[in-house]
Structure 1
Amino acid sequence: MARRVLTPDERALWGKLTRTVTPLRRVRPLPPVEPVSAAAFAAALDAPKPVKGRIPPSRPMAPPPSPPAPAAVPVLDGSWEKRIRSGRIIPDHAIDLHGLNLAAAHIRLERAIGDALAQGWRVLLVVTGKPRPAPAPGETRRRGAIRAEIGDWLARSTHAHRIASVRQAHPRHGGDGALYVILRRSN
């Protein structure tokens, strides 16, 4: 590994530090370090580094592969799954994020999860609106922005460790436009 040339300030600081250290065992003293001029320091930085062996041709940098999406962890038992599929689940509380901007919706979601945990509620119905449709030609209005962000918000939430599962709501509770946030039981 090539050694880096120390700046004059770094050499002075290193010398000051080494004078304050007591060695664990007796060693030969290092030769004194001679000061290096600024011109010699700049020349040492600009000097080409020697290369040993064959130099491979440079390749274009490929973006690093994205990490695989985490597999869904089955944290809910069969009775939960049946209740969700059949629509027999009864949310303890519901919040509607329609008409809010992204910042206000994020704050309201965090507060609602905090309140639900404080009250001991297990199922929170979050109405987000339908997912973003394919963009129509010439359409400039953004739709479905809250729905597009809610997964990230829940993953980064201060209460993320207390969220057992997030599932699409049954049609009677909003279907594609709503989610069940199922919270873990407090221990």
Structure 2
Amino acid sequence: MSAPRGLSDEEAQAWEKVAATVKRLHPASTAPKANAPTAPPAPRPPKPVPKPRKVSPAPRPLAPPPKPAAGGNSLDSHWDRRLKSGVVQPDFTLDLHDHGLDAAYDRLMSGVGQARAMGARTILLVTGKSRPVDPADRATKRGAIRAKVLDWLAASSHHSAIAAVRRAHQRHGGDGALYIVLRRER
């Protein structure tokens, strides 16, 4: 690569005219002139090495951390046994088959709201069997709805009303369905 050429007298005069019309963004700073030799920047002093801090052991927590509302284990063993054995009859059923992601989301949110308004305790949510799905999938693969349901519920305005989400019993759809257990209204 060749060295940059200097400006001719004609170009230097044109540049001076242009530079005279420009207002500086930062008036306090002075830019070096093109023809002036520039000195190399002064070397920076090395950063001081921080002294290691003495770390005391963390105190033990007094109570266990709260369990997450959707999918957490906030049911007593009686409820879990009844759900696993298929004894529980759902109070409300939502079927999301043949819906795109946007339509399934809207149906899920309105359905949970309707079930809460009716005083339902257990919702059977039919989603279809889960498949490995890319998180950015837009309903081009099977199982996309099932892959997103827990995230939708956790981020919804209904998350505080959900006691647990469990896999449905085989007679209610097995791997293709979920139970949503709502908290009792007080």
Please classify the TM superposition score into its range, dividing by the shorter chain length.
0.5 to 0.7
CA displacement 1:149-187 (0-9 Å, x = unmatched): 111001101110110000000000000000000000111
Equivalent residues in 2 for 1:102-181 (5 A)?
A: 102-132=101-131, 142-181=141-180
Equivalent residues in 2 for 1:1-187 (5 A)?
A: 37-39=28-30, 50-53=45-48, 73-132=72-131, 142-187=141-186
Q: Who wins on radius of gyration, i.e. which is larger? A: 2
Unaligned residue ranges in structure 2 (runs of 5+):
1-24, 32-40, 50-66, 134-139
CA displacement 1:12-55 (0-9 Å, x = unmatched): xxxxxxxxxxxxxxxxxxxxxxx962427xxxxx987543347x
Q: TM-score, normalised by structure 2?
A: 0.61
Q: Does the residue aligned with 1:142 lie in a helix, a strand or coil? A: coil
> For the residues of structure 1 that align with 2:176 and 2:182, how far apart are their CA atoms?
20
One-letter identity of the residue aligned with 1:37: A
Unaligned residue ranges in structure 1 (runs of 5+):
1-8, 10-34, 41-45, 55-69, 135-140
> For the residues of structure 2 that align with 1:157 and 1:128, how far apart are their CA atoms?
18
Q: Does the residue aligned with 1:112 lie in a helix, a strand or coil? A: helix
- Equivalences, count: 130
- Return the structure number with greater helix share: 1
- Relative to 1, partners in 2 of residues 1:38 and 1:124: Cα closer, same or farther, differing over 3 Å? same
One-letter identity of the residue aligned with 1:51: P
> For the residues of structure 1 that align with 2:162 and 2:184, how far apart are their CA atoms?
9
Identity across matched positions, percent? 49
Structure 1 runs of 4+ aligned residues shifted over 4 Å read 46-49, 70-73
Q: Does the residue aligned with 2:30 lie in a helix, a strand or coil? A: helix
> For the residues of structure 2 that align with 1:49 and 1:166, how far apart are their CA atoms?
58
